[in-house]
Every structure is written in structure tokens, then in C-alpha cells.
Structure 1
Amino acid sequence: MAALEVSITNDLEKRIAEAFEVFDHSGDKTVDVREVGTIIRSLGCCPSEAEVQEVIVRVEDQETSGSVHLAQFLPVVAQIISEYKLQPASPEELLKAFQTLDKENKGYLDREFLTKAMMEEGEPFTQEEIDEMMAVAVDPVNGTIPYEFYINQIMINIQPNIYSLIPKVEEVQKRKLGEGLIESDLMK
């Protein structure tokens, strides 16, 4: 396969490339296609498995099936993020979801009840995902999940949101476009 050029022109693309490179174990700007979901999630995006599969269809290398090159991955994921797709739920959306499950308005959920709901409703969580959540969510004193506290915990631990880079990228693009227009006017 011919070497593909990768041009990184802004902070958003830099963050995507850095996340990709963590999984590029051979240093050839490729990753195993099975890592695509993990890379996207490491950026703070929240795709469903179906959405991950849609991305894979767009980025998988046709010559070497099973791999993804950064040159194919970068523009697709940058576009998805620039369109504000795959964003995590807001604290308000999370609270509403927990309150919907809390039929008795207790302010907490039982571990067993939430585990069952997460494994049987919507897109099922894996046991590993549930274990990770429960490690943070469960009150060690009474074994319940006080969901407002849990929501606050996960919001504190979120790294700077990748979607916050979009306005800066758009501003730079507008400035470059304006400079291009000025240059073309000078050429007349």
C-alpha cells in the first residue's frame, strides 16, 4: 500500500491523531479496526455500537481489511465531531433518565435493578462497563446508587470536552477563508 499523507491543521485534528496514535502499536499510522470504537470513546464521544459500525464502514482500509489508516480515520471523525454528533448526554439528560427509572422518587436506585435495566433495555452494556460504572456509582455504606451524586462525580472527572474545540477551529477556518478572499482580490 502506498504511504498516505496525513495533514493535521488544527487542535481538533491533533487530539484525534493523538488518540489514534495510542493504539498504533506498529508506528505505521494504522490500527486494528476493532479499536475504532475505543478510540472514538477515548475522545469523549458516546457512539452506540451501530454508530461505531457506520464509522468502520467509512474508514476501513479496503486493501488491508481489518485495519484503519489515520489518513482515512482523521477526516471522518473530525467531520463527525464538527457536526456535534456522538456527544455524551448532558447532566440534565442523565438526571431525567435516572428519574424515569426511579418510579418511587427515592433519589437512588438499587444496584440489582439498575444492572438488570442496563443489560436488558436499549443497547445492552457489557459486564465490564457495568462493573466500571458501579465502582463509582454505588454508595459503599448502603449499596445503593444515589444518582445525583453519581452524575456530579462523572461530570467532575470528564476531561476537557473535545466539542469545545469546534468554535476555535471554525474561527480559524473563517479567518483563512477571509485571507484567501483578500488574496484573490489582490490578484485581480
Structure 2
Amino acid sequence: MAEDKPRPEGIVSDVHKRIKAAFEAFDYESNNTVDVREISTIIYALGCFPTQEDLHAFIAKVEEDHTGYIHLDKFLPAMTKVLLEHKFPPIPEDVLLQAFEVLDKEKKGYLEPEELTKYMTQEGEPFTQEEMDEMLTALADPEKNLIYYKDFICQLTIDPDL
């Protein structure tokens, strides 16, 4: 029978490095604090994709007394637990591809930014316009201003063993 073994220190150390690097990218004042509005982006960058409900519960756990800021000291242990327990897993690549293919009714292999914005801001757990702007900047082909979804699906999924 397999026993629950303690995790090797190297794994925890690597997880801490990943979390700190993602957090520090948004710590604009280098004071180990980020704006609460950046947390979803940090969590997504770490390969975790919580529901809005899970995200709000996570933020409530780590936010500094409703100040709108989150300190690394609270974020690091909470996010380490999320990563080590594989909470908020990414959607599998094939499922994501199927979803884009459903949206691409004409089977063109791409979506126009307006189409994607409509779907992402009006359906399911809607994105804010700011989130959409960030995503379109990252995903749209700069020359043709089209979103070739097959080219970036691998960016939206992350190997959970990393």
C-alpha cells in the first residue's frame, strides 16, 4: 500500500519560487503586496483556473482586512496548498479545443476579437472588459487581428506536473 509521504523539500521550494515570481511580477512597489484585482491573473499564470466563486473565497482568505491588497506572507502558504493539492485544475486541451470549435461555426480556424468578446463577456462567468482587453492583446494575431485558437490553446493549458 502506498503511504502518504512528506513532500520532498525541493518540490515545495520550486513551488514557492514559481509563486513568488508570479506574485512579484505584479508587486509594482516591491513591498510584497499586490492589488487584489491582480490575484486572478497571478492564479491563472500559475496554471490554476478557479470558478469565480472559488476565486472570491480564496481572496477572502488572503486579503488584508478588506484593504484591497494582498500580502505575499498570506498568499504564499495559501497558494502553495492550492498548487500541491492540484486545486483549480486547468481544462484539458482537447475540451478547450472543442469549445473553440463550437464557437467557430464556419470552421475558419479563428475567431474575430468581437466574436470572442461577445462570448466571453455575455456567457457563463463573464470576463470584465479589462480582462478581455488583456486577453485580446495576448492572443490576437498582431497583423490580421484574428484569434487563431489552435495556436494558443497550449498557452491556456499547463502540465499539472510542472
TM-score (norm 1): 0.61
| CA 1:28–1:131: 2 relative to 1, 3 Å | closer
Q: Distance in 2 between matches of 1:113 and 1:56?
A: 31
Partner of 2:40: 37
Deviation at 1:160, TM superposition (A): 9.7
Q: Distance in 1 between matches of 2:43 and 2:159?
A: 11
% identical aligned pairs: 43
**Partner AA of 1:13 in structure 2:** H
Deviation at 1:84, TM superposition (A): 1.6
Q: Distance in 2 between matches of 1:50 and 1:32?
A: 19
Q: Distance in 2 between matches of 1:30 and 1:134?
A: 27
TM-score (norm 2): 0.69
Query: Tell me, what secondary structure is at the counterpart of 2:48?
Result: coil
Partner of 2:160: 163
CA contact (8 A) 1:118 1:125 kept: yes
CA contact (8 A) 1:94 1:151 kept: no
Among 9, 14, 17, the residue aligned to 1:11: 14
Partner of 1:22: 25
Partner of 2:4: none
Among 128, 132, 140, the residue aligned to 1:126: 128
* Rg (Cα) greater in structure: 1
Q: Distance in 2 between matches of 1:39 and 1:124?
A: 18
Partner of 2:6: none
Query: Tell me, what secondary structure is at the counterpart of 1:18?
Result: helix
Among 45, 49, 62, the residue aligned to 1:46: 49
Q: Distance in 2 between matches of 1:144 and 1:38?
A: 23
1:55 equivalent to 2:52? Answer no
Partner of 2:90: 88
**Partner AA of 1:95 in structure 2:** L
| CA 1:103–1:35: 2 relative to 1, 3 Å | closer
Q: Distance in 2 between matches of 1:54 and 1:10?
A: 26
Q: How many residues align?
A: 150
| CA 1:47–1:139: 2 relative to 1, 3 Å | same
More helix by share: 1
